[in-house]
Amino acid sequence: MDSTVDKGETLFVCGGCNAKMGPGKLENLLKDLHQDKQPDVMVDFETTDDAAILKVNDDTAIIQTIDFFPSMVSDPYIFGKIAAANALSDVWAMGGTVVSALNIVCFPQEMNQNILKKILQGGLEKVTESGGFLAGGHSIQDQRPKYGLSVNGIVDPKKILRNNTCNSGDDLILTKPLGVGIITSAYGADAVSKEAFDGAVESMTTLNKYASEIIKEYPVSACTDVTGFGLLGHLNEFLNGKHSAVLNATDIPILPSAYEAADELLVTGGGQRNRKFLDGKINFTFDDNALEEVLYDPQTSGGLLFSIDPQYTDEVLGKLNKLSLRSARIGKVVDKEDKEITVN
């Protein structure tokens, strides 16, 4: 626990995107749920994309998304910032601009109300930073605090970024380092340093707005944000059963101490669910269980993963790496192979 936080105003730690249902369960739940197609609904849950998109006219479409979860940090103010940054991210992953947001709050009636005030303050600051307006929200009594946002954005219908439209030969670029799930869990067990935890917090509270503003200048073929399904789970969706990917392990950015924590078996339940779902789809060409855990690790407010023609890679990375967090080319999209993803 952060020593600067009043012990009476802290949160129980076991949440973030690690608390989300595994992809296998979601797939089974949703496969039989269908509605008649509406002509103005451009994107819905059937494509497992980051948000819904509804066309208003030839120049404007609405992006609608929602995300909330229990805390993965003890500091309520930091939790509010992380949860808001995570919820806002879906708009940028689809090439849009944030317009408005509504709070979603679950909170125990008997708990210190100042904790909730700090959560909401952190969320408000991130919505303000996003350029959007926090217009209200909804709260219910619950035994465990949970927080997030319902977010609306706008996008040009001709410039929507999808999560399943990559091309063979594209480079794959990731805009944040991996390992926040492992680090926050390990920090709660006093197994990693405060410095390592602070690095994870910096990553989780950094808005994907800034990376999105850069990549919108380029002909990106597909984009998503890396959250609860981990890098490999979201990349699996990204490939859409039509392509495969080859990743270069040494090029993948990883937060300091995440690999070491994974090597000590300080891993997450969400990571194990992701591993189980992807069984048989991943080819690791070398033996490194710790690295595997980092690649399966659920990311809370993770970076953008996008694909682009290699002729633009150096230029876009040059701009991205002027931001506070390191971006990297992590591999390539290739023609369909026996395994969805190969990690060299």
Q: How far apart are CA 220 and CA 307, in angstroms?
A: 6
CATH 3.10.270.10 fits 171-343, yes or no: no
Determine whether the annotation assigns residue 243 to a binding site. Answer: no
**pLDDT tens-digit map of 135-159:** 999 999 999 999 999 999 999 999 9
pLDDT string in tens for the chain (344-residue length)? 444 455 556 655 555 555 555 565 666 776 677 777 777 776 776 666 667 888 989 999 999 999 999 998 989 999 999 999 999 999 999 999 999 999 999 999 999 999 999 999 999 999 999 999 999 999 999 999 999 999 999 999 999 999 999 999 999 999 999 999 999 999 988 999 999 999 999 999 999 999 999 999 999 999 999 999 999 999 999 999 999 999 999 999 999 999 999 999 888 888 999 999 999 999 999 999 999 999 999 999 999 999 999 999 999 999 999 999 999 999 999 999 999 999 99
Determine whether the annotation assigns residue 198 to a binding site. Answer: no
Closest CA to 254 of 302, 313, 286, 209: 302
For the whole model, what pTM was predicted?
0.90
Q: How far apart are CA 138 and CA 283, in angstroms?
A: 44
Active-site hit among 14, 17, 106, 166: 17
CATH architecture of the domain with residue range 7-159: 2-Layer Sandwich (3.30)
- Decide if 146 contacts 106 (C-beta within 8 A): yes
Determine whether the annotation assigns residue 142 to a binding site. Answer: no
Domain regions of the chain by residue span: 7-159, 171-343
Q: What is the DSSP-derived secondary structure letter of residue 218? A: S
Q: Is 151 exposed, middle or buried (0-12, 13-18, 19+ CB in 10 A)?
A: buried
- H/E segment holding residue 67: strand 61-70
Judge whether 7-159 and 171-343 match in fold: no
Closest CA to 205 of 190, 187, 184: 184
Determine whether the annotation assigns residue 20 to a binding site. Answer: yes
Token representation of residue 97? 């601009």
Determine whether the annotation assigns residue 251 to a binding site. Answer: no
Q: Active site includes 17? A: yes
